[in-house]
Structure 1
Amino acid sequence: MIICETERLILREYEKEDIAALHTIFSDEETMSYYPAPFSYEKTQQWVESNQKRYVRDGFGLWAVCLKESGDLIGDCGLVKQTVEGETEVEIGYHIHKNYWSKGYASEAARACKKYGFRELGLKKLISIIDPRNIPSMRVAEKIGFMKEKEAFVFNKQHLIFSEARESVYQL
């Protein structure tokens, strides 16, 4: 099911057939350098299944990011409920295959997810949880209008929390 489209991308729900293509991204050491370790094939399969459950439970999750031109899966981006300092927040998360870095795809996908979260889901605030060493991810957050809000201990280590409130984007 297609969630949204941009000029160059289609964001759609994961399908079982996406696991192999996604694994080429999640098994790469450079791509996963801010995670505890690259993913095994089984962990990638669990990732897809977990997001499919989120679609049913939450109405959203991380979605496959595919090139409109070819249909190739180049990453994922979407909305995920996270707990930050005891509060439930909705995060825009993104992972793009390193062969497609520095081409604006992460920003394009994240901007589409921001619009979807605010306009379609009526969310009041969105965040991104970013490792303090991950400068490219911070740039993506800033390009879509997020600002550094605070530091927080999430996923067993310190992270930066970038965010934006709906009021700052859309008049209610």
Structure 2
Amino acid sequence: MEIRTERLLLRPLRESDRAEVIEIQTDPRTNRFNPDPPSVAESEQKFDQWLTHWGEYGYGYLAAVEAGTGELLGVGGVANRRFGDEEVLNLYYRFSPGAWGKGYASEMAAAVVAWAEREVPERPVVISVSVENVPSIRVAERLGFTDYTVADYFGLLSRHYRRG
């Protein structure tokens, strides 16, 4: 699975991405809405889980690479998740602070959602966002997600949006 957008190459994560992804995941700026930011060890474990998901399902979270330079800007995509009593695809994205404000999250998310709705239509795409994370809420709403519940998500009061 590889997706190209106007400015991005979205490709499967690989072991060589580990250090950069861990740096993004643990950067305090990327966790400003997270009251319990992940440690390096937790981020390493999560990265391993993401690689395992790829091996099991043939899709998952992707490296978001700037097409022109090859620079890894962030990570995101969809992965299987149980939400309540439903199997869904969780939309996730986290970009390095240097990539913020340029529309990369929206560009990546739109391409991934289109892929998911075409390739895995039996699972609705959902996104869970801290109620304080206004930039991510805007991305979800711009992509046509609708707010359907507010609930705790890993200890964080979150808005849950869905498509489909």
Give the distance between the partners of 1:23 and 1:41, measured in 2 at CA: 7
Task: State percent identity of aligned pairs.
Answer: 28
Residue 117 of structure 2: aligned partner: 118
The answer to whether structure 1 residue 72 and structure 2 residue 56 are counterparts is: no
TM-score by length of 2: 0.91
Give the distance between the partners of 1:5 and 1:47, measured in 2 at CA: 25
Amino acid at match of 2:62: W
Farther off after superposition, 82-91 or 25-34: 82-91
Residue 142 of structure 2: aligned partner: 143
Give the distance between the partners of 2:156 and 2:138, measured in 1 at CA: 21
Give the distance between the partners of 2:53 and 2:93, measured in 1 at CA: 16
Once the two structures are TM-superposed, the CA of residue 20 in structure 1 deviates from its matched residue by 1.4
Once the two structures are TM-superposed, the CA of residue 143 in structure 1 deviates from its matched residue by 1.5
Question: 1:55-134 maps to which residues of 2 (within 5 A)?
Answer: 55-134=54-133
2:65·2:74 contact (CA, 8 Å) conserved in 1? yes
Residue 16 of structure 1: aligned partner: 15
1:19·1:44 contact (CA, 8 Å) conserved in 2? no
Residue 159 of structure 2: aligned partner: 160
Q: CA RMSD in A?
A: 1.6
Gaps (5+ residues) in structure 2?
A: none
1:84·1:152 contact (CA, 8 Å) conserved in 2? no
Runs of 4+ residues deviating >4 angstroms:
none
1:132·1:160 contact (CA, 8 Å) conserved in 2? yes
3-state SS of the aligned residue for 2:49? helix
TM-score by length of 1: 0.87
Amino acid at match of 1:108: E
